[in-house]
Amino acid sequence: MPPDQIAKLPGYGLDVHKNREEARALVRKLGSGPDNRLKIKVTTRGWSLYRDQAVLLLDQLKQIYIDGELDLVNTAQYFPKIMRKQYTVALNLQTAGPDSDPTVQLFYGCGRTSTGTTIAIPRWTR
């Protein structure tokens, strides 16, 4: 996607301060804010590659009134935990390669249980 189109997407503009203010406004509209911060738990695998990304996510969320606790899970327990839906927010790294369509269909297509999310958004699978 060309940079000028990306800049039009919510949260992708070049003005970081404006993007964060828009995100804070959304969070306030939903009932949270500086005096009533939303508390979540971010679950990820216990490898440094996953942990480091989760720490970055937590830092970003903190800037929009969301306080996250890091829940590191051993790899052997991670996927069963996801399949049981025992998480609030789960961070997992999926690669897309040069053509993301097969990856999107594999992991996020309607009725897929490979990630435990069972998302059903028919227009994504067309």
Residue 4 pLDDT exceeds 80: yes
pLDDT in tens, 30-65: 999 999 999 999 999 999 999 999 999 999 999 999
Report pLDDT for 77: 95
Q: How far out from the chain centre does Cα 97 lie?
A: 19
pLDDT in tens, 65-75: 999 999 999 99
State which H helix or E strand residue 60 sits in: helix 48-62
pTM: 0.73
pLDDT band at 110 (very low <50, low <70, confident <90, very high): low
